[in-house]
Every structure is written in C-alpha cells, then in structure tokens.
Homo-oligomer: A and B are copies of this chain.
Amino acid sequence: MSKAGRSELSTELREYDREVQLLKHGCSVLQWDQETYMPPAAAEERAEQLGLFETLVHDRIADEKLGELLERAGASPENPMGSEDLPPRDRALIRVLFREHRKARRIPRELVGRMARAASTGQTVWRAARAENDFSAFKPQLEELVALAQERAELLGYEEHPYDALLDQYEPYMTTAEVTRVFEELERGLVPLVARIAEAPQIEDEFLYREFPEEVQKQFGTRVLHEIGWPAARGRLDRSTHPFTISLGRDDVRITTRYERAFFNSALFSILHEAGHALYELGFADEIRGSALADGTSLGIHESQSRFWENLVGRSRAFWTRYYPLLQETFPTALADIEHEAFYRAINKVTPSLIRVEADEVTYSLHVILRFRLETALFGGRLTPAELPDAWREESRRLLGVVPERDADGVLQDVHWSIGGFGYFPTYALGNLFAAQFTEALEQELGPLAPLLERGEFAEILAWLRRNIHAHGAARTAAELVLDITGRKLEGEPFMRYLHAKFGEIYALQ
C-alpha cells in the first residue's frame, strides 16, 4: 500500500469508527437517563427508543462498507490486525473492529431481535418469580434464554467449548479452560481459608447499621472522590437502584450509588467501586480517545480497577488511618465510640452467606465459581435448566457451607441469566485476580501501598494505573496487559497471598 493509500485508509477507518462511537454514546445517554431521572410512565417507550438506537449501532458494525474497509486494510482471520505496514494504533483499531464486525455478521438481525425480546420478557418474568420464590414460573423463560445462548454460541463459533463463545463476549480471548485452571487454584485456596476464619472469634459490626444521614454520606463520598483524583468536571455522581458506571462521551463518565440510611457500607464502597471503573474510562491516552480503542479491554480488567479502589484501597487499614478521624467527625452520633481498629475489622468481616452482592472479599469469588461451574455444565450439556435449583444448593453447600432454603436466595438471586448474560459472572472473580496481580507489580515499582495511602499519595497511584493499564484501553488485550505488567500469565497466587496476609492478621490465624 502506498503511503497516501495508507493515510487515506486510516482516515476512512477512523471516521467510520468515530460515527459508531458517537451513536454508542448517544445510546448511553438514553440508558443513563433511564436509570436515574426518567419519569416512570416513559419506561415502555424508552425501550423502543433504545432498541432503535442499538439497531443503528449493530447495522453500522455489521455493514459491508466496514467489511470492505477492513479487507482493504488486509484484515483476515489469520491476520486480524491487518497489514503490517500500517501504524500500530490503526492495527489495534483494526483488531477491535474486525472482531466486532465478524461477530455482528454472524448474528442475524432476526436473532438480535429475538434475544432482545427474550431478555426483556425474561427480566420481567424473573422479577415476579423471585418475588414469589417460584422457580417453575421462570423455568420456561430460562430454557428459552439458554437455547438462544446455545444458538448464539454455535453461530459465533468456538474451538473447544461452547462456553468459550459466550465468555469471549465479555472477556475477549479468554477460554473456559483457562478460567477453569485459575478457578480451581482459587477454590483450593479459598475453601480452607473460609473454614479457618469460621473457627476464629467473630467480629462485631453492629455499629455499621446505625444512623448515617444520606446527605452526609454523599458529602463524605464526594470528598473522597475528589481526593483520589476523580475529575468532577468530567462526570457526575447520581443515585440509582443499582450502582453503575457509564460513559456518555470521552469527557463524560458518570457513576451512581445507592444510599442506605441504616448501613454505612452500601454507598461509600459502591462509590469507590464505580470510581475505579470511571477512572479507567477517563484515563485513555489522547491518541485513542473517542475511538473504539477507548474502551475497557475486558470486563475482568475493568473489574480489576473497581475492586482495586473498593477493596485494596477502600477496605485497607492504611486508607482508614487517613480517613477515619474525618469519618468520626462526619458521623459523630454513629461512630464516636468506635475505635479505628474496630471499624477496620468490621468493614472486613467475613461470613459465608447466600447472596453474592453482599459477600465479603474472601467468600465473594466462591459465589462466582459456583455460577461458573453451573454455566459450564449447562452449556457443556451436563445439566439442564430444570436441574439448576438442586445443583445450586449442592454447589453452595460444597463451596460456601450454606444452603439456601428459598430459590429466591439461590438460583433466582441474580438478574444476569434473566437477560441472557451467560458468560458474564467469571469476570467478577477475574477482576479480583487481576487486581491483586497488578498491585504486586505496582508495589514493586512504587513501594508498599499502605504508606502511599496513609500519606494520601493517590496521584502517584493513579498515574501508575494510567500509564500501565488505563492509557492502553482496548489496544492491548487482557493477556498482553497482565504479561507486560507482571511478566507472568494470570494466576491465583497473588490474590491468595493478599487474602492470607490481610485476613490472617485480622482473624489472628496461625
């Protein structure tokens, strides 16, 4: 290709991509509004609006014109980054667009419509079934959703396991085999740790359920946000039923939280969690801003950033050495009689429980492993949807030592399956692993995290994350990132080391 040809092609690709990104962000505005300020009567038509906008995005990604551009760039299954004489930034963009284009071409529009309808009905039916604790009411819908996911997996294609195709939607290039490997390692470490903690003297945390006025929670959360480096002019913090982060533009990344008047943890740790996601989306390098590369490279990597700020920072003793005096001043009625150490132990209390979203740092990944085992059995043909409730109870007993009496607290607890989101769960636990492995690398370079947190040197920490992770966006895959940063593949050991050190000390384990 001539230099002029390369330059023209590069411009055409970037312009094509730019329009897609503008449309995607337009969808995000509608979604954000839906979850925050939309009046109730508008819900039904908003679904129609979003359906249309998402179809416009899908059509552009599946469009032959994009296929032709990618072909001119030399992209093929054997050479997904296109011609080697193109600049690296363009080749990374080609990889992302080629991947999305091929997926979109494989899923017929008719199936996109069926999936959207099944997800919409599924969520409605699931919500009622959970409220009634009636799995049988949800079963037919679940069967349809599983069948649709199987159909999707076959159309998308996979090498070893149908679940590979589903996982790949959220964690690109990751395989079922690799997740199985690290999750088995994790399980071997976590189950005995949980058992030892269960035998240790238990922690008192009733004071976390005292009175914490919402407006004051918001003020404190906002202050922390500013101090860790969250740029207020490029985002917002609002309230929603379930906390989330969403990008409405390259300089417009919004987070939400929920406030519980009688439980401290809910708002602040969600704020830190979502801030971690937001800092990732706000940290892309200038040269990729506003393009398809300005995106989390995988949900696992995204989750590593949220877990880092929520847990490795927000649930550390050092962070509260810095902030606990201010917290006591902020909530004198609730916390005046509580020592820093007692507070630190309370926010880190470990209890095997039924509900994933309420789980602590130690047991959380076991909830994910449970779902991963059931999903791979479902799509490996070893389990039917009808057998899920029993299988759930069995895995829960084996992994967590607790058994839900009601399906509402077991197989019906999460929204994901009701909207066809099979393959999503593993990314939550992968996030924990990536976070711990990255943090060891960060500490090798910057020294131990604790003194940095005590001194409030968040800017230095954030700069390291930017340089090593955020800046690259989707231009480096998760596997490339972890290898570049840590010199190793993804593994379970750093996370287990972190848990042993932290909880061994808290629970005075031998």
Assuming the A-B contacts A26-B30, A26-B53, A33-B33, are A252 and B39 also in contact, with contact meaning beta carbons closer than 8 angstroms in the complex?
Answer: yes
Interface-lining segment among A42-50, A75-83, A354-362, A415-423: A42-50
- Is A40 interfacial (CB 8 A cutoff)? yes
How far is A232 from B49 in the complex, measured between Cα atoms in Å?
A: 21
Q: How far in angstroms is the closest Cβ of chain B from A168?
A: 30
Please give, as numbers and ranges, the residues of chain B lying within 8 Å of A232 by CB-CB distance: 39
Q: Are B23 and A52 in contact (CB under 8 A)?
A: yes
- Is A466 interfacial (CB 8 A cutoff)? no
Interface-lining segment among A182-190, A202-210, A243-251, A316-324: A243-251
Q: Are B42 and A249 in contact (CB under 8 A)?
A: yes
Q: How far in angstroms is the closest Cβ of chain B from A45?
A: 4
Q: Are B250 and A45 in contact (CB under 8 A)?
A: yes
This protein's copies in its complex: 2
Q: How far in angstroms is the closest Cβ of chain B from A233?
A: 5
Q: Determine which of B26, B48, B52 lies in contact with A49 in the assembled complex, contact meaning CB atoms within 8 Å.
A: B26
- Is A22 interfacial (CB 8 A cutoff)? yes
- Is A329 interfacial (CB 8 A cutoff)? no
- Is A41 interfacial (CB 8 A cutoff)? yes
Please give, as numbers and ranges, the residues of chain B lying within 8 Å of A26 by CB-CB distance: 26, 30, 49, 52-53
Q: How far in angstroms is the closest Cβ of chain B from A209?
A: 30
- Is A38 interfacial (CB 8 A cutoff)? yes
Please give, as numbers and ranges, the residues of chain B lying within 8 Å of A249 by CB-CB distance: 42, 45-46, 49
Q: Determine which of B25, B44, B251 lies in contact with A39 in the assembled complex, contact meaning CB atoms within 8 Å.
A: B251
Closest to A45 in B: B249
Against B, the Cβ 8 Å flags (1 = close, 0 = not) of A1-39 are: 000000000000000000100110110011011000111
Closest to A23 in B: B52
How many positions in chain A have a CB within 8 Å of any CB in the partner chain?
37
Closest to A44 in B: B251
Please give, as numbers and ranges, the residues of chain B lying within 8 Å of A48 by CB-CB distance: 22
Assuming the A-B contacts A29-B29, A29-B33, A49-B26, are A39 and B290 also in contact, with contact meaning beta carbons closer than 8 angstroms in the complex?
Answer: no
Please give, as numbers and ranges, the residues of chain B lying within 8 Å of A254 by CB-CB distance: 39
Assuming the A-B contacts A26-B30, A52-B22, are A39 and B250 also in contact, with contact meaning beta carbons closer than 8 angstroms in the complex?
Answer: no
Assuming the A-B contacts A30-B29, A45-B290, are A37 and B39 also in contact, with contact meaning beta carbons closer than 8 angstroms in the complex?
Answer: no
- Is A385 interfacial (CB 8 A cutoff)? no
- Is A235 interfacial (CB 8 A cutoff)? yes
Against B, the Cβ 8 Å flags (1 = close, 0 = not) of A50-74 are: 0011001000000000000000000
Please provide the chain A residues from 235 to 262 with a CB less than 8 Å away from any CB of chain B in the complex.
Answer: 235-236, 238, 248-252, 254
| A residues whose Cβ falls under 8 Å from a Cβ of B | 19, 22-23, 25-26, 29-30, 32-33, 37-42, 44-46, 48-49, 52-53, 56, 231-236, 238, 248-252, 254, 290
User: 13 A-B contacts, Cβ less than 8 Å apart?
Assistant: A22-B49, A22-B52, A29-B30, A29-B33, A29-B49, A33-B248, A38-B252, A39-B236, A39-B251, A39-B252, A40-B233, A42-B252, A44-B251
Additional A-B contacts beyond A26-B30, A39-B252, A45-B249 (11; CB < 8 A)? A22-B48, A29-B30, A29-B33, A33-B33, A39-B234, A39-B251, A39-B254, A41-B231, A42-B234, A44-B251, A45-B251
Closest 7 CB pairs of A and B: A42-B252, A41-B251, A45-B249, A41-B234, A41-B233, A42-B249, A22-B52
